[in-house]
Every structure is written in C-alpha cells, then in structure tokens.
Amino acid sequence: MRGVTEADLPELVRVDREAFPDDPYPYFVLRQLYDVHGDRLLVLDDGERLHGYVLFPTVSEGREGRIMSLGVTRDQRGRGHGRRLMLEVLRRMRAEELREVSLTVEPTNAAAIMLYRSIGFTSEDSVRKNYFGPGEDRLVMTLIL
Ligand SMILES: CC(C)(COP(=O)(O)OP(=O)(O)OC[C@H]1O[C@@H](n2cnc3c(N)ncnc32)[C@H](O)[C@@H]1OP(=O)(O)O)[C@@H](O)C(=O)NCCC(=O)NCCS
C-alpha cells in the first residue's frame, strides 16, 4: 500500500474500470480527482500492477473525512485488501484528529456494507433517494472517529 503518483494514472483507470465496470470514472474525472486529492489516494501495488485503491478527501474545512471511492479488482477480492485500505484510512484520519468520516454505498452492495459495518460504520437505515440521479439511491454510513 502506498500513495498514488502521476505515473499510476493509467493503471488507476484500469483498476477503477475493473472495480466499477458499470459506472467507472471517466479518465478526465480521475485525472482531476488526482490533481485535487492526490495526497488522499492510496493504491495497492504488488510491484507490477495495482489491485485496488481508496480515495478519502476531507470536507467541512478539513474537519470531516469522506470515503469517496474504494475498489479492489475482482481477482483480488476476499483477501483482506479492502479492509486493510479502510483501516489505514481510519488510522490516518484519527492521526489528523478528524471528528467523523462518512460515505455512501449502493443499498444492495452487501459486501461493501458488511465491510463498513465490521469496522464501525453505522447507518440510520436512511437511504437517500435519487442521490446519484434518478433511481440511484444510496445508503449513508458514518463513523465517529
Ligand atoms: C467492497 C470491496 C472493496 C471489498 O474488498 P475486499 O478486498 O474483497 O474485502 P475484504 O477481503 O477486505 O473483506 C472485508 C470484509 O468485507 C465483507 N465482505 C467482503 N466480500 C464479501 C462478500 N462477497 N459478501 C459478504 N461480505 C463480504 C466481509 O465483512 C469481510 O470481512 P471477513 O473477511 O472478515 O468476512 C470489493 O468487494 C470491491 O471492490 N467491490 C466493488 C467496488 C465496490 O463496490 N466498492 C465499494 C463502493 S461503496
């Protein structure tokens, strides 16, 4: 696990497309996310390829964290990579003395919801209707750091 570099962008785009085949970020969006939040993006690198990433910017003038994206390539799932990425993000946010971190997740994404619950995220079962546009509901989850 390490911070992202500009040279990682093509690989990052590939990983994002593998992790989110139905709804990947366009290249130019990932490029701009890198430009703005590159210091808050961790990648999993085996020395040859990337296998996952997490993007964790802050909001509210740096007082709160957001998990904006977490993805592990299909062939690498179920090996603890997602949990390791998330635990490292929480460790960093606690060191920065952020007060809470939140995220949104597709309400049917059982794997992600189980992961988030297992590390302390809770939801008030409040699904935000049409959060990502018509028919694209999201469950909001929060963790007090
Ligand atoms: C969600 C995701 C990041 C999990 O990554 P992962 O590396 O496979 O997860 P881990 O191996 O670290 O598993 C951690 C926990 O997640 C949960 N989990 C993972 N896969 C699961 C599955 N198929 N079914 C149910 N729970 C699952 C479990 O609670 C697991 O803990 P356990 O191993 O002690 O049972 C991965 O499935 C993924 O990239 N999915 C596609 C992109 C996505 O949906 N991202 C989240 C957007 S909000």
pLDDT in tens, 117-141: 999 999 986 799 999 999 999 999 9
Would you state the pLDDT for residue 124?
Answer: 81
Alpha helices in the chain (DSSP H): 9-19, 27-37, 81-95, 110-118
Question: Residue 145, Cβ neighbours under 10 Å: how many?
Answer: 15
How do residues 45-92 score in pLDDT, each as one tens digit? 999 999 999 999 999 998 999 999 999 999 999 999 999 999 999 999
Q: Which CATH superfamily is domain 2-144 in?
A: Gcn5-related N-acetyltransferase (GNAT) (3.40.630.30)
Nearest CA to ligand 1 atom 43: 71
Segment 100-110 shows an average pLDDT of 97
Is 66 near ligand 1, meaning CB less than 6 Å away?
A: no
Predicted pLDDT at 126: 78
CA of 48 to the centre of ligand 1 (A): 23
Ligand 1 in reach of 131 Cβ (< 6 A): no
Residue 109: the pLDDT is 97
Computed over every residue of the chain, the mean pLDDT equals 96
Domain segments of the chain as ranges: 2-144
Nearest CA, atom 23, ligand 1: 111
Q: For the beta carbon of residue 112, count every other beta carbon within 10 angstroms.
A: 20
Burial of residue 97, with CB atoms counted within 10 A of its CB: 0-12 exposed, 13-18 middle, 19 or more buried: exposed
Q: DSSP class of residue 76?
A: G
Q: Is 132 in the pocket of ligand 1 (CB under 6 A)?
A: no
Report in angstroms the alpha-carbon separations of 50 from 20, 35, 77, 80, 112: 15, 19, 13, 15, 20
Q: 25 is written with which tokens? A: 């970020």
**Distance from C-alpha of 7 to C-alpha of 11, rounded to nearest angstrom:** 8
Please say if the pLDDT value at position 21 is more than 90.
yes
Is there an atom of ligand 1 within 6 Å of 79 CB?
Answer: yes
Confidence of residue 112 (pLDDT cuts 50, 70, 90): very high
Residue with tokens 């949104």: 104
